[in-house]
A = this chain, B = another copy of it.
Amino acid sequence: MSGMIKNYKIIISYDGSRYDGWQKQANTENTIQGKLEALLSRMAGSAILVHGSGRTDAGVHALGQTANFRMDTTCSEAELQAAINGYLPEDIAVVHLKTASERFHSRLSAVGKIYRYRLYVGNGKPVFDRKYVWQPDGELNMDKMREAASFLVGQHDFRGFCGNRHMKKSTVRKITRIDIEKTAGGTEIDLTFEGNGFLQNMVRIMTGTLVECGQGFRRPEEMPEILETGERQMAGKMAPAKGLTLMEVKY
């Protein structure tokens, strides 16, 4: 019994703590894409390629990573989703699965992404959220962070905030908003970044730099200079992976 080859769009949530990131790699089988491809290929009896909207670094989480794959199956969408979730480990879930148009491609069709970085700023220790937040030293001045962030919003060459020194393609991206809000009863500051795309490590480097502005170690006015010179060493330290979550990919 054979169906017909369909192009499936899936949305995936994962706790990245245990994984070497989204993208399959030659030297590790421990990636989200690798787990999904191995599982779908076993189900299909032939190699299935899973195309993600983009990479997430080792240790970064996702609420709404998006991917697509082509498969020949007689299963209904609900059956296929349930079967995949049944085989996936408990820290990865397919939260949406629908047939998409033949032309849909999770990376090429994407028009925007939303990331959230969670900073723990309470007095204690984030016992239950410790794998999902970063606790930077000292007090954070949110006004300074917002002022610095305002320089980053817009279309810029973000080479200075890119972790890949050998980036050959364009490093121009457009950030439409960076919201910086107190949440969780005042014990967290969450940074929400929305843009048409993000370079490697870009959200983590921007977060590290904004935190240094909040700590008073650098001035918001330095942001335009980092953008203009494009020099990575002028920007701040990269924030740890565990505080970052890919919230949504927009199409």
Contacts and interface: CB of A to CB of B under 8 A. Distances in A.
Contacts of A13: 124-125, 127-128
Nearest to A132: B128
Contacts of A95: 124
Contacts of A124: 13, 85, 93, 95
Contact of A15 (B85, B93, B128): B128
A186 to B, nearest CB: 15
Contacts of A61: 128
A14 B126 CA distance: 10
User: Binding site of A, secondary structure by majority: helix, strand, loop or mixed?
Assistant: loop
A92 interface: yes
Interface residues of A, number: 17
A222 interface: no
B85 A127 contact: no
A91 B129 CA distance: 9
Contacts of A91: 127, 130
Interface in A104-151: 124-125, 127-128, 130, 132
Contact of A92 (B85, B88, B93, B127): B127
Interface of A: 13-15, 61, 85, 88, 90-93, 95, 124-125, 127-128, 130, 132
Given A15-B130, A93-B125, 5 more contacts: A13-B124, A13-B125, A13-B127, A15-B127, A92-B127
